[in-house]
Amino acid sequence: MEDNDDDYFSDDFDALPPGTLYELEQHAFQATQASATQHDAQPVQNERTVQNQATLKPPPRLHTGLTNEYDTLEVGELEAEVHDNAVMTSALPPGHHVMAEDSGWTINGGMEDPMDVDDESGQLHAYSEFHARLEQLAQEKEQMQRELAAAKAQAETKAGEIAIIRSKQTRMTQDYDRQLATLRKAMADETAKHKEQVEAAMSEGKMLATENIFLQQDLVEETYQLRNYKAKQKTDKAPPVTPRKSRALPFRDGFDDEEIAVQSPSKSATRSRRVTPTVPGKRKRQASHDNPTPLQLSPVGELVMGDAPDGPEIIADEDRRSPGAASRDQRLMKRLLNHRMIPDQETDLEAMAKLSFPSAPRRPISSFIMDEIAHLETGCFVLDYTQTVGSLWQRALTERFYEPVPRFAAIVRYVLTLDDAPLPEIMTSLLGVLQDSVEVNAVPRFRYSPAAREKARVLRQTPQSDLQPRVDSTEALRLLYYIACETLHLKSALESFWRQIRHTFILVMLHGSQPLKDIVLILNLLSTSIRPDSFGPIMPSDENQADVQKWIIDRLTFMLSESAQPDEGIEPYTPYDICAMRLEVLLLLEALAFNPVAPSREHGSAIIAAHSNALARLFRSMHDEIDALYSSPPEQDLRVSLVNGLMRLIFGVMRRHGPSINMQEKLACVPGSKQKHLVVLTRLAFCDGSVLEAGIDDETVDMAHELLEEWTNPQEAEALAEAFPSSRRE
């Protein structure tokens, strides 16, 4: 047991080298004090480490190995070693000098105070300054964070205010645009209403002036008849005349026996004898012995038929009682010869007595009228007079003498308003000269049209020097249209009318350089030419007829997008006027395609379907009208009507002749039509009926959707449906 105890307590510590035991102690101390020392002395560690490395050294007798230069170094020797103040060389690695110094151990003096008073106060002062600096930095950081938060809040407030101001500005701009559009629309409506009122007032004034003329003429006739009646009454109270003898007398007094009135047999010879009344104070005359039988006087009031005066009074009275053809002709002759362009001015014959043709300067035009009427023997004065005026009108145009043309037009207009005028016979002498009058200014305008000057770089307006202001093309077109309307119920007369209309005249008028009112009149005139199997002027052969119809369709479809060019010095046309003209073009195309005379016939729609670029132009025009709607124009109602009408026209033609139409080939003929026709169909098919698209019919939407489904595959149709979820059709 004793041996074992000795073995237990003898743990060979004595055999350990002195350096190893010292190293273990340092490690133990370092394990318990390292963290605190490292935390407290970190600010001044670097400086002190440098100093200790330079000053501290291990004792000279302490060797880093296991033996010294004499013998093996025991632990007891290290414990019993007395260290003097002598300078020792360090036997520790460089890293252990710091640990020794930080732990408070001194090498050359044994265990002393861990830190000197000066070093401790310096560390405390540095630590306090460092801590104060940290607190200052922390406060500055908090201050900067507060300022940053305040700046962010202020920036968010400003951004919100800016967003509110922008939204208000956008809303104000939209309200202003809406109010401006409303005002423009109201102004356009008021302008149109005022124009209608002015036209109505002018037409009423013209009607009143015409009625006044008729009333004046009736007054003249009534005055003339009253004068005749009074004259007739005076003749009824004729003075006494010489009575006829009742028997043959041996002596004649110069009168025939047949002219002498027979004395009434109820009267006796004694009663019939009369003597000259005597005057008091005078001597009575003795009876003549040469003629024993005195003259017998007829009683007062007895009218002798042979003595009644011959004259127009009796004829006028008979005409008044039983009016006939002669009396009507005479009445119309009086009206025509008494016609005036303006009431209370000179008559037509008086005015034309002052004018002469350049080819006959010494002869007035009125003498030509009287000579022509005298040689004509049609039996109708109105027809004779109209033919004479028409021939003189044509001569004035041939000689370019335009001064009497307005008066000729006024005479023709007055003749056409007469109820008894033979219109089918009259129009034959007027149709040629009316067309020539229109072409006096229409041909120069056509030369400046975009179609005639398509190679010119700059389009020019028609100069006023090329126009003749005395020749009113609009008035001539009105007369033509009036004649066509008056012959609508006469099939033969209407066919005769369109046989005399030149196709070149129609094509020249269907251009944007012509005045809009003339274009509207020629469109209305063409509407009267629709027949079951044809339209337009009647040509001598079917081939020529087909060519003319194709040219008319070509011009009409082109005018839906053609720019209108007014004459030089005339104000530009407004979009409202242009849309109104295009709407008239569309109405005519619908009438041609869906024949109102024979609805079952497909002649007009077949021409539109077979035309190389008619359908493509219709799609392009519809796209342009839809595009213009999004700017909220004042003429929005007209543009919406154009869109609805164009879709009805296209859909109707496609349904009638769809299998025979190669749409891709037709769209390729007009630049941009391939894209525009899909765009416009998509817009209409998925129209949601917003403010800008208000007025587009549901029919139009359904038609566009049906056509779009035919020209797109299912994947494209599904993609379009997803792109427009708010479609009105859905």
- Taking residue 104's Cβ as centre, other Cβ atoms within 10 Å add up to 14
Q: Where are the domains of the chain?
A: 16-115, 132-178, 204-235
> Against a cut of 0.75, is the pTM above it?
no
> Mean pLDDT lowest for which of 96-105, 486-495, 626-635?
96-105
Q: Considering only residues 210 and 187, tell me which one the structure prediction assigns the higher pLDDT.
A: 187
553-562 tens-digit pLDDT: 999 999 998 8
- In sign, the C-alpha dihedral spanning 171, 172, 177, 181 is positive
Does 295 have pLDDT greater than 50? Answer: no
For the chain, give the mean pLDDT: 75
Picking from 640, 604, 646, the residue whose alpha carbon sits closest to that of residue 621 is 646
* pLDDT for residue 551: 95
Summarised one tens digit per residue, pLDDT across range 646-660 is: 999 999 999 998 888
59 pLDDT band, cuts 50/70/90, is very low
pLDDT for residue 217 is more than 80: no
What is the three-state SS of 114-175?
Answer: CCCHHHHHHHHHHHHHHHHHHHHHHHHHHHHHHHHHHHHHHHHHHHHHHHHHHHHHHHHHHH
Angle at 108 between CA 105 and CA 111, to 5 degrees: 35
| pLDDT at residue 718 in the model | 67
> 87 pLDDT band (50/70/90 cuts)?
very low
| Per-residue tokens: 415 | 């003749």
- Residue 564, pLDDT > 60, answer yes
CB atoms under 10 Å from CB of 550, counted, come to 16
State residue 221's pLDDT score: 72
Q: Which of 668, 664, 556 is nearest to 604 (CA)?
A: 556
Burial track 591-620 (b if 16+ CB lie within 10 A, e otherwise): bbbbbeeeeeebbbbebbbebebbbbbbbb
- 214-229 burial, b at 16+ Cβ within 10 Å, e below that, comes to eeeeeeeeeeeeeebe
What per-residue confidence (pLDDT) applies to 715? 67
Coil vs helix vs strand at 405? helix
**Of 340, 420, 358, 409, whose CA–CA distance to 383 is shortest?**
420
CB 547 within 8 A of CB 553: no
What percentage of the chain exceeds 90 in pLDDT? Answer: 31
In the three-class reduction of DSSP (H, G, I as helix; E, B as strand; rest coil), residue 698 is classed as helix
Q: Is the pLDDT of residue 321 over 70?
A: no
Q: How far apart are CA 42 and CA 27, in angstroms?
A: 20
The residue assigned the tokens 């510590």 is 13
pLDDT for res 196: 84
User: Looking at the predicted structure, is the pLDDT value of residue 528 above 50?
Assistant: yes
| pLDDT of 176 higher than 60 | yes
List of long-range contacts for 494-502, beta carbons under 8 Å, 24+ apart:
494/528, 495/538, 496/424, 496/427, 496/428, 497/427, 497/431, 498/529, 498/536, 498/537, 498/538, 499/537, 499/538, 500/428, 500/431, 500/432, 501/431, 501/435, 501/529, 501/537, 502/435, 502/537
Tens-digit pLDDT profile for residues 501-516: 999 999 999 998 999 9
Q: Tell me: the pLDDT tens digits for 667-678?
A: 888 887 777 888
pLDDT at 102 over 90: no
In three-state secondary structure terms, 597 is coil
Looking at per-residue pLDDT, the higher value among 705 and 224 belongs to 705
The pLDDT, as a whole number, for residue 721 is 63
pLDDT of residue 308: 34
The pLDDT value recorded for residue 226 is 75
pLDDT at 13 over 70: no
Q: Which of 65-69, 209-213, 358-362, 532-536 has the lowest mean pLDDT?
A: 65-69
Residue 456 has pLDDT above 80, yes or no: no
Beta bridge partners of 72: 67
Q: Residue 691: which pLDDT band, with cuts at 50, 70 and 90? A: low
DSSP E strand stretches across 231-306: none
* Residue 445: CB atoms within 10 Å: 26
